Amino acid sequence: MSLTYAIVVNGPAYGNQTSRSAYQFASALIEEGHVLQRVFFYQDGVLNGSALTAPASDEFDLVAAWQTLAKTHNVELQTCVAAALRRGIVSEQEAEQNQLPAANLADGFEQAGLGGLAEVMLTADRVIQF
């Protein structure tokens, strides 16, 4: 039986294992034939959406991995806009709206309010938080 999942990521891309574990879980559930509808990045999890991360060449590039997963499997990647702005993760629209000099939200990510999280919690069969 195939289930629809949503994942909430609260941990940063680097500094602890939380986001990497979420990514590994996401990959495994897709491999098992389930559907991953959306990954919602909240609190420090929004740091996964930064286009300015530059891991060493021998390190796993988690931001790129999320982007590839999203593109390959049609998964929505949403960062909480309020948490993102507090941490300097800014979309083009938010940069313009807040008169900021630049945007740095990585391709494939979008900014959304907590309504995006509430919506997926109502529509997914399972919501897993990391």
Q: How many CB atoms lie within 10 A of CB 71?
A: 12
Catalytic residue among 8, 47, 77, 80: 80
Annotate 8-25 with b (16+ C-beta within 10 A) or e (fewer): bbbbbbeeeebbbebbee
Active site residue 80: yes
> Which of 7, 96, 107 shows the shortest CA–CA distance to 52?
107
Strand partners, 39: 7, 77
What backbone torsions phi and psi does residue 90 show, to the nearest 5 degrees?
-130, 130
Q: Are 5 and 29 in contact (CB under 8 A)?
A: yes
List residues with catalytic annotation: 80
